[in-house]
């Protein structure tokens, strides 16, 4: 069976063997990548998470003439989703081949793509050494993608600040090697409310934090219902409108204590035509408008009942709103140069598709980099126990990335080979 393994298998297996669950350190994996680039005299730039335990890595292979701006980004996340509570038939952090499939955490999402890119790096270096690399090729490895594309923005900011402005970016999320040109925006926010605890029998003397939390939840649900009823619509998406809701809410201690604390987390997914800012403005207006007013009014009433100084209870209230993840929607035109190129590289002119999940492609696009998603494996197998990828998908990806490298070089692009 071994002779049938894709050539990039050793690299993929090596990456799978380094556990990089989101939120845990990915530095051993980053070091592994750095070492491989270092062998070719290339040094990347790390950008770290706040606590320094995770890092993005951005490495530029300059064009043969030394140019570092323009060109194309090969982009992928280094983190994987947790395996806790999942029933695996084999060690998730050991690549295992059974039949025509490779199993392991990250096999499809998305260490296969990263492994293929690393495997082909020497070919790119050879093009550069031959003097034919026309534009630079950049490698962007991010952390914490799986918890809301948290890592990539600082990496994008960093290379932009250095004057590197890539023309294109291919994010290798599993797409069964189909071109995806659009996805929804994805956002995660947290709101916490602090009221004033009292014995339940003295309810009017307290301020119940569950009330504004519930009001916010209903408000967001109404907003989502209005999107469903009035649009905007894009029928190319499975759910053809923006969506949202409060999906986590925790409040209070027990039934007879006026709840002092409530905390919720919400999610909203926007069509590419709906900006993050427009939704945030609506949420903020409601939170810092009517909901806050009613919350404060409850405290003012309690002050009167207790004959407390005006404002003494109101000032103890708190509403805190944090946006924890923001991924803008991706919308690359069906006839954009990168889409046409990718169709050529794949030797497949199928129309690009749209997906509901958010990716870093939206963040690259926001930075002015024309972006698509195209990667090996089926998103249906991502995040599941016994995550797997068809070996054939890995081979197709090898051919695809090789085509990208050929495009980046002055060598005539191959259009006659297809894995
Ligand atoms: Zn992914």
Average pLDDT over every residue of 300-324: 96
C-alpha of residue 412 to centroid of ligand 1, in Å: 32
Query: Stretch 79-91: mean pLDDT, rounded?
Result: 95
Length of the chain: 419
For residue 405, what is the enclosing H or E element? Answer: helix 391-408
Task: Kindly state the average pLDDT of the residues 223-236.
Answer: 96
- Per-residue model confidence (pLDDT) at position 418: 40
The residue out of 306, 326, 346 marking a domain boundary is: 326
The CA 287 to ligand 1 mean position distance, Å, reads 33
Residue 57 belongs to some domain of the structure: yes
With a pLDDT cut of 90, the percent of the chain lying above it is 94
Residue 212 CA, ligand 1 centroid: distance in Å: 35
Q: How far is the CA of 244 from the centre of ligand 1 (A)?
A: 21
91, 231: one domain: no
Counting the structural domains of the chain, the total is 2
Domain presence at residue 350: yes
What separation in angstroms does the CA of 208 have from each of 194, 215, 221, 258, 262? 8, 12, 21, 5, 9
Say if residue 92's pLDDT is above 70.
Answer: yes
State which residues form the domain around 286: 185-326
Give me 351's structure tokens: 């129309």
Residue 28 vs residue 355, higher pLDDT: 28
- Ligand 1 geometric centre to CA of 32 (Å): 20
pLDDT of residue 2: 57
pLDDT of 356 higher than 90: no
Same domain, 112 and 162: yes
The mean pLDDT value for 271-287 works out to: 94
Instruction: Give the residue from 273, 292, 326 where a domain finishes.
Output: 326
Helix (H) or strand (E) holding 333: none
| CA atoms within a 13 Å half-sphere pointing along the CA-CB vector of 131 | 0
Distance 46 CA to ligand 1 centre (A): 20
Same domain, 179 and 195: no
Q: Which of 155, 181, 21 is nearest to 75 (CA)?
A: 155
Termini Cα distance of the chain? 19
CA of residue 325 to ligand 1 center, whole Å? 15
CA 360 – CA 418 distance, rounded (Å): 28
Q: Read off the pLDDT of each residue in 351-377 and give the average, rounded to a whole number.
A: 95
What CATH number is given to the structural domain containing 36?
3.40.630.10
Dist. CA 274–CA 46, nearest whole Å: 32
Q: Within this chain, do residues 154 and 16 fall inside the same structural domain, yes or no?
A: yes
pLDDT digits (tens, 9 = 90+) for 186-228: 999 999 999 999 999 999 999 999 999 999 999 999 999 999 9
Q: Is the pLDDT of residue 415 over 80?
A: no
pLDDT category at 416 given cuts 50, 70, 90 is very low
Ligand 1 centroid – CA 348 distance (Å): 23
Q: How far is the CA of 105 from the centre of ligand 1 (A)?
A: 11
d(CA 107, CA 183): 22
Q: How far is the CA of 80 from the centre of ligand 1 (A)?
A: 7
Residue 257 banded pLDDT, cuts 50, 70, 90:
very high
Whole-prediction pTM value? 0.88
- Local confidence band at 410 (pLDDT 50, 70, 90 cut-offs): confident
Is 1 inside any structural domain? no
Q: What is the pLDDT of residues 321-351, one digit of tens each?
A: 999 999 999 999 999 999 999 999 999 999 9
Number of H helices, E strands in the chain: 10, 16
Closest CA to 367 of 75, 54, 98, 157: 157
pLDDT band at 4 (very low <50, low <70, confident <90, very high): confident
The predicted model gives 144-155 an average pLDDT of 94
Q: For residues 285 and 333, state if they share a domain.
A: no
Question: Is residue 2 one of the residues assigned to a domain?
Answer: no
**Distance of CA 76 from the midpoint of ligand 1 (Å):** 8
CA of 149 to the centre of ligand 1 (A): 9
Which pLDDT value is given to residue 357? 85
Q: Is residue 170 pLDDT above 80, yes or no?
A: yes
Mean pLDDT for the chain? 95
Residue 99 lies in a domain: yes
What distance in angstroms lies between residue 318's CA and the mean position of ligand 1's atoms?
Answer: 36
- In sequence order, what are the residues at sequence separation of 6 or more whose Cβ sits closer than 8 angstroms to the Cβ of residue 159? 45, 58, 60, 138
The residue whose two tokens read 């140019």 is 67
Answer with the one of 272, 292, 326 that is the final residue of a domain. Answer: 326
Q: Is the pLDDT of residue 166 over 70?
A: yes
What CATH code is carried by the domain that includes residue 206? 3.30.70.360
d(CA 321, ligand 1 centre) in Å: 27
Question: Token pair of 303, please?
Answer: 């002050």
In this structure, the strands spanning 137-142 and 72-77 are parallel
- pLDDT greater than 80 at residue 110: yes
How do beta strands 168-171 and 72-77 pair?
A: parallel
pLDDT digits (tens, 9 = 90+) for 296-306: 999 999 999 99
pLDDT in tens, 26-40: 999 999 999 999 999
**Is the confidence at residue 387, as pLDDT, over 90?**
yes
198 and 135 share one domain: no
Are both 370 and 261 inside the same structural domain? no
């Amino acid at each position: 069976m071994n002779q049938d393994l894709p050539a990039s298998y050793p690299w993929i297996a090596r990456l799978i063997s380094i556990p990089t669950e989101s939120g845990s350190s990915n530095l051993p994996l980053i070091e592994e990548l750095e070492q491989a680039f270092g062998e070719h005299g290339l040094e990347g730039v790390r950008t770290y998470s706040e606590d320094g335990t995770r890092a993005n890595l951005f490495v530029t292979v300059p064009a043969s003439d030394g140019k570092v701006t323009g060109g194309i980004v090969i982009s992928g996340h280094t983190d994987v989703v947790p395996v806790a509570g999942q029933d695996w038939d084999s060690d998730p952090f050991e690549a295992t081949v059974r039949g025509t499939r490779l199993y392991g955490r990250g096999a499809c999402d998305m260490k296969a793509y990263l492994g293929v890119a690393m495997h082909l790096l020497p070919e790119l270096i050879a093009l550069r050494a031959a003097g034919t690399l026309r534009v630079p090729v950049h490698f962007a490895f991010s952390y914490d993608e799986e918890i809301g594309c948290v890592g990539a923005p600082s990496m994008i900011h960093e290379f932009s600040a250095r004057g590197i402005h890539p023309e294109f970016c291919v994010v290798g999320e599993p797409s069964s090697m189909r071109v995806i040109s659009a996805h929804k925006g994805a956002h995660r926010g947290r709101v916490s409310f602090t009221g004033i605890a009292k014995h339940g029998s003295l309810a009017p003397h307290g301020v119940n934090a569950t009330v504004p939390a519930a009001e916010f939840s209903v408000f967001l649900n109404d907003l989502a219902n209005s999107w469903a009823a009035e649009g905007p619509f894009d029928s190319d998406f499975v759910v053809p409108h923006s969506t949202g809701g409060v999906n986590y809410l925790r409040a209070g201690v027990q039934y007879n204590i006026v709840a002092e604390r409530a905390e919720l987390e919400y999610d909203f997914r926007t069509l590419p035509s709906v900006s993050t800012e427009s939704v945030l403005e609506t949420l903020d207006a409601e939170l810092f408008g009517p909901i806050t007013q009613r919350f404060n009014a409850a405290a003012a009433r309690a002050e009167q009942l207790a004959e407390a100084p005006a404002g003494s209870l109101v000032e103890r209230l708190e509403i805190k709103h944090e946006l924890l993840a923001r991924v803008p929607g991706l919308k690359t035109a069906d006839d954009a140069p990168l889409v046409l190129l990718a169709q050529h590289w794949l030797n497949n002119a199928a129309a690009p598709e749209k997906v509901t999940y958010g990716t870093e492609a939206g963040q690259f696009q926001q930075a002015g980099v024309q972006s698509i998603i195209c990667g090996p494996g089926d998103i249906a197998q991502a995040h599941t126990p016994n995550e797997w990828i068809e070996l054939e998908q890995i081979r197709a990806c090898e051919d695809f990335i090789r085509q990208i490298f050929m495009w980046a070089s002055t060598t005539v692009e191959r259009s006659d080979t297809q894995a």
